[in-house]
């Protein structure tokens, strides 16, 4: 601990109360400023936190609306397509009862259903309708006859219906159609012959582009960044922005969301935060998932937190400007007041304290010692003076350098201040490696005890030099105790303590010696 003004607390030391008073003013101003800053910061933080929470909740609501809209659009298209397929399925089932269906008959059945279907529905929302046989080969498609040999056996919806007879429909993932060269997903229904054996599937294409256009028309695309819809545990059937655009969800993101349990999010109101994989790092996104029980669809809508943060900071610019201006004015006022108080305090401190050790200097001793002696003379109580010198300090500086020497001086000064810590005790640097301690109301026995405490405390000081060594230091202490009868004894007491210190050095150092008059 560093020595401070507690060593100048004598009631008669009135000339130093100004320093203490100015220090208290500075502390009061500083504390008031800190309180003001904390109050403003806490209030601003609470307001900003509430604003942030409102923005997050608003973003979540927008994500829910967008996801619900996508679910509605896809459900509507799937319902219409399934209705069309059911009608065609009935016609194919009747035809299969008479035997296998060839390409010509299949084309007729598909076209007949297509003509009936477009009478009541907007066929622009749908692609072709196919009949695929039990081997997965394209037999016929609506519109124009086809002689293409296309194998559909690797398509999700085909082998799902083939391998799971209990399924009445299947929805496939998003694919790039080999027939129309567009991005599509499919809904299909199974066909069975009169013996109940799997005879193939009927497939209806649904256009990713048409659904994306409807989404753009009916929703604000600024309310989300990306959308993805998929059947539970299957690949995505719809993504937005559409495939082929830089903003479209990557396959990595699609696969990650495919395997994320939607139930986990649904138990939290459909919202969760996720570190979405990016090219070089991860970006924190806010996700909202909406589940459709009709077709077992899950739609994920995402919004990057960076955009929320940008909108948050941008939208609160007036608030930040107001706080900044207010804090600047307050800071300027407090700073001006603090500087006024610090100038006087610094001036007083500079004249009374040693710049290196931060204990009082010799000038402070010259001013305070007469006051302490006057008190001692008035009370007729003993006063003790200790003179302390660091042993072999010149050798220490030569061996370890002046920087280590300065460190040693500071350590010794702090140790002395710790040992002489009573309100009336006074510690100062006499000069060089020498220190003086004045102990009012202290008899010889108490002075000796404090001297021994100083010796032990200095021995325990731990230092470290630039080269890594751990040098030790000791001090020699001389002390004198007297009952003051005249103020003129000031120089005598210091000289006597100095003589006792020199005697301690001559006797081997690292010890304390009491002054004894020669005539004794």
Kindly tell me if the per-residue pLDDT of 199 is higher than 60: yes
Model confidence at 19: pLDDT above 70: no
pLDDT of residue 249: 84
The CA distance from 125 to 200, in Å, is 25
Can you tell me whether residue 43 is helix, strand or coil?
helix
pLDDT at 179: 66
CATH T-level topology, domain 353-514: Alpha-Beta Plaits (3.30.70)
- Predicted confidence at residue 120, as pLDDT, reads 66
- Tens-digit pLDDT profile for residues 458-510: 999 988 877 778 889 999 999 999 988 876 666 789 999 999 999 999 999 99
Average the pLDDT over each of 92-96, 336-340, 412-416 and give the range with the smallest value.
336-340
Closest CA to 201 of 270, 278, 130: 130
Residue 353 bridge partners (DSSP): 360
| pLDDT for residue 21 | 54
- Where residue 116 falls among pLDDT bands split at 50, 70, 90? confident
Contacts of 16 (CB under 8 A, 6+ apart): 5, 8, 352, 368
Q: Quick one: pLDDT at residue 274?
A: 61
At residue 203, the pLDDT reads 93
DSSP state of 221: G
Inform me whether the pLDDT recorded for 277 exceeds 60.
no
Q: Hey, CA dihedral for 167, 173, 179, 182, is it positive or negative?
A: positive
Q: pLDDT tens digits for 313-327?
A: 999 999 999 989 988
Question: Under CATH, which architecture does the 52-310 domain have?
Answer: 2-Layer Sandwich (3.30)
Range name among 1-5, 159-163, 435-439 with the lowest pLDDT average: 1-5
The pLDDT assigned to 338 comes to 80
Strands of the 475-482 sheet, one edge to the other: 426-431, 434-440, 383-390, 475-482, 512-514
Domain extents for the chain? 52-310, 353-514
Q: How many residues are recorded in the chain?
A: 520
23-79 pLDDT, tens digit per residue, is 677 788 888 888 998 999 999 999 999 999 999 899 989 999 999 999 999 998 899
Q: In terms of pTM, does the model score above 0.95?
A: no
Question: Could you give the angle at which helices 317-352 and 305-315 cross, rounded to 10 degrees?
Answer: 80
The better pLDDT of the pair 393, 117 is held by 393
pLDDT at 264 over 80: no
Per-residue DSSP letter, 422: S
pLDDT of residue 276: 58
* pLDDT at residue 111 in the model: 87
**Range with the lowest mean pLDDT among 252-256, 370-374, 419-423?**
252-256
């Amino acid at each position: 601990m560093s020595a401070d003004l507690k060593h100048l607390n004598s009631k008669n030391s009135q000339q130093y109360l100004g320093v203490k008073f100015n220090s208290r003013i500075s502390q009061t101003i500083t504390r008031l400023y800190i309180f003001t800053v904390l109050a403003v910061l806490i209030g601003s933080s609470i307001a900003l936190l509430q604003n942030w929470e409102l923005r997050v909740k608003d973003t979540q609501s927008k994500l829910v609306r967008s996801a619900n809209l996508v679910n509605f659009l896809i459900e509507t298209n799937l319902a219409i397509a399934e209705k069309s397929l059911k009608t065609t399925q009935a016609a194919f089932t009747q035809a299969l009862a008479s035997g296998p269906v060839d390409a010509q008959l299949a084309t007729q059945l598909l076209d007949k259903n297509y003509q009936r279907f477009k009478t009541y529905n907007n066929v622009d929302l749908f692609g072709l309708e196919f009949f695929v046989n039990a081997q997965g080969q394209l037999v016929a498609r609506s519109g124009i006859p086809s002689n293409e040999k296309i194998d559909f056996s690797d398509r999700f919806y085909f082998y799902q219906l083939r391998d799971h007879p209990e399924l009445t429909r299947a929805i496939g993932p998003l694919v790039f159609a080999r027939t129309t060269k567009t991005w599509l997903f499919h809904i299909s229904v199974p066909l069975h012959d009169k013996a109940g054996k799997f005879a193939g599937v009927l497939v209806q294409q649904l256009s990713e582009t048409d659904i994306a256009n409807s989404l753009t028309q009916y929703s604000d695309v600024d309310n989300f960044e990306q959308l993805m819809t998929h059947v539970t545990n299957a690949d995505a059937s719809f993504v937005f922005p559409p495939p082929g655009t830089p903003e479209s969800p990557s396959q990595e993101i699609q696969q990650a969301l495919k395997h994320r349990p939607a139930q986990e999010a649904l138990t939290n109101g459909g919202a969760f935060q996720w570190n979405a994989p990016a090219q070089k790092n991860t970006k924190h996104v806010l996700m909202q998932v909406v589940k459709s029980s009709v077709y077992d669809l899950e739609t994920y809508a995402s919004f990057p937190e960076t955009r929320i943060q940008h909108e948050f900071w941008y939208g609160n610019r007036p608030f930040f400007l107001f706080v900044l201006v207010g804090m600047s004015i307050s800071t300027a006022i407090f700073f001006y007041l603090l500087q006024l108080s610090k100038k006087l305090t610094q001036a007083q401190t500079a004249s009374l304290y040693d710049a290196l050790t931060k204990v009082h200097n010799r000038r402070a001793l010259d001013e305070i010692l007469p006051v302490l002696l006057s008190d001692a003379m008035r009370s007729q109580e003993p006063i003790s003076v200790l003179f302390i010198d660091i042993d072999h300090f010149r050798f220490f500086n030569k061996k370890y350098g002046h920087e280590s020497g300065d460190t040693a001086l500071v350590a010794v000064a702090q140790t002395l201040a710790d040992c002489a810590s009573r309100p009336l005790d006074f510690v100062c640097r006499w000069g060089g490696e020498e220190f003086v301690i004045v102990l009012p109301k202290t008899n010889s026995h108490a002075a000796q005890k404090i001297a021994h405490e100083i010796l032990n405390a200095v021995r325990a000081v731990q230092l470290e030099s630039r080269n890594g060594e751990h040098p030790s230091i000791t001090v020699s202490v001389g002390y004198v105790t007297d009952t003051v009868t005249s103020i003129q004894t000031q120089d005598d007491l210091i000289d006597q303590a100095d003589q006792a210190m020199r005697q301690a050095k001559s006797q081997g150092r690292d010890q304390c010696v009491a002054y004894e008059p020669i005539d004794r």
